[in-house]
Amino acid sequence: MLRGQHIHRRRPGGAGSRRQPRPATSEGVACTRHRPIERKLEPSPARSCCADTRRPSFARRRSETPLASWDQSCEAASVSGPGPARDHSLVVSRFVEACSADDRIVAAFLCGSRARGEADEYSDLDLGVITRDDPLENVMAERAVFVCQLGEPVFVEDFGLERIAFFILADGTECELVFGREGVLEELEVGPFVTLVDKRGILDGAEFPLPRPDPDERREELRQVLNWFWHDLSHFVAALGRGELWWACGQLEALRRYCVNLLRIEHGVEAQEEAYEKLEEAVPVSELAALQPTFCPMEREAMLNAALDVVSFFREHAPRIAGAYGSGYPAELERLMCDRLDQLSLAARPTRDP
């Protein structure tokens, strides 16, 4: 699997807050506002990989600022279609009520695909909270309690990301909740938003543009992909050589994800640990066609041939993309690992009777 600090977990959909590592936590909170839920646990010719294959972001009261867009916000939160019912207007209403009643919170908004008008019946709900400066840490520490005001949570997590909470309610609502503070609104990188609560008018005329790609960070992502691919190929060779097919299958998937992230970088999109997420929006499907046959049965010969195809794909694209970004390409590492894969392929060749 991809690892490290630069090949990222995905940014929250539309809630691109700045992230800093923090321990992941799952929080179980007994909500008094909603009834608790009971949970029950439940042989072919050898091929060579070294052939030249390179083709060319509590007093209850309503918001002090009139909420002119409230009706539109409820409409945006509710999308119909062939998928599961996604009427989130009740959750949004509870969210507005909770934020309006909390003196530590000065503003709240809807963001993500629903604010952009791009949501479908499968889209989650992206919400944002802005606090006064001092209470921010306290509000975040009580985020699970805050979530209980919106419904009965069955899942609350931060995935190690700062100022974000991902939660799922018992009614099926999936939500990403981003936290910001009044004194540094520029830290919010959520893109278009719809104001839900604005007690001090701080959202009037405000813009929270999505983050621009950092060239240095992008080059580091590319460096990792270029080098880690060949390192992990050695693990694939070892696993398949030992007949450990489950390990080999996992390494083959890792190699394929490096290829996918390579194309993401080429198209100016952040490399991700969840490499396939929304991939069709980032990369033309036609460019992925050569990888499709590499999803193969967990059989030695099939996986060996798939690995040779993945390596061919990588060798076709990686040097060109490295050159475009001014990154060094590990040619000697490539040669060494291709030799190992060739030896494995030769060893798999069926012997002929004299």
Domains defined along the chain, listed by start: 1-41+57-212 (3.30.460.10), 215-347 (1.20.120.330)
CA 257 to CA 5: how far, in whole Å? 16
pLDDT top residue among 12 and 57: 12
Residue 124, pLDDT above cutoff 90: yes
Burial tier of 202 (Cβ tally within 10 Å: 0-12, 13-18, 19+):
middle
Q: Which residues pair with 108 in a beta bridge?
A: 129, 197
pLDDT tens, position by position, 226-271: 999 999 999 999 999 999 999 999 999 999 999 999 999 999 988 9
The DSSP-derived string for 303-331 is HHHHHHHHHHHHHHHHHHHHHHTT----H
Q: Label residue 286 by pLDDT band (50, 70, 90).
A: very high
Residue-level pLDDT at 49? 60
C-alpha distance from residue 115 to each of 112, 193, 269, 323 (Å)? 6, 5, 22, 38
Question: To 10 degrees, the CA torsion angle through 299, 302, 304, 305?
Answer: 180
**Helix, strand or coil for residue 179?**
strand
Side-chain-facing half-sphere of 227: CA atoms under 13 Å: 11
The answer to whether the CB of 106 falls within 8 A of the CB of 58 is: no
Measured in whole angstroms, the distance separating CA 348 from the mean position of its chain's CA atoms is 38
Confidence of residue 350 (pLDDT cuts 50, 70, 90): low
Whether pLDDT at 201 is above 60: yes
Please report which confidence band the pLDDT of residue 215 belongs to, taking 50, 70 and 90 as the band edges. confident
CA–CA separation, 206 and 238 (whole Å): 55
The CA-atom distances, in angstroms, between 122 and each of 40, 57, 127, 164 are 26, 20, 16, 21
Distance of CA 225 to the CA centre of its chain: 17
Question: What 3-state class would DSSP assign to 99?
Answer: helix
Output the pLDDT for position 213: 79
- The predicted model scores a pTM of 0.73
The answer, yes or no, to whether residue 217 has pLDDT greater than 70, is yes
For residue 105, how many other CB atoms are within 10 A of its CB? 22
Q: Residue 210 — pLDDT band, cuts 50, 70, 90?
A: confident
Check residue 117 and give left, alpha or beta (phi > 0: left; psi -120 to 50: alpha): left
Closest CA to 316 of 7, 52, 46, 16: 52
Distance CA 150, CA 216 (A): 40
Q: What is the pLDDT of residue 85?
A: 52
Band (pLDDT 50/70/90 cuts) for residue 352 is low
Report the pLDDT averaged over residues 327-331. 96
The pLDDT value given to residue 23: 39
The predicted structure's pLDDT at residue 47: 59
The two tokens of residue 47 are 């091929």
Q: What is the mean pLDDT of residues 25-35?
A: 47
- The reported pLDDT for the residue numbered 211 is 83
| Confidence (pLDDT) at 54 | 38
Q: Say how many C-beta atoms besides its own lie within 10 A of residue 247's C-beta.
A: 15
**What is the DSSP-derived secondary structure letter of residue 185?**
G
Cα 273 to the center of its chain, rounded Å:
7
CA-to-CA separations, 352 to 43, 45, 178, 349, in angstroms, rounded: 12, 11, 65, 9
Q: Indicate the range of 53-57, 132-136, 159-163, 333-337 predicted with least confidence.
A: 53-57
At residue 353, the pLDDT reads: 52
Give the position of tokens 């066609």.
289
Euclidean distance between CA atoms 343 and 340, whole angstroms: 5
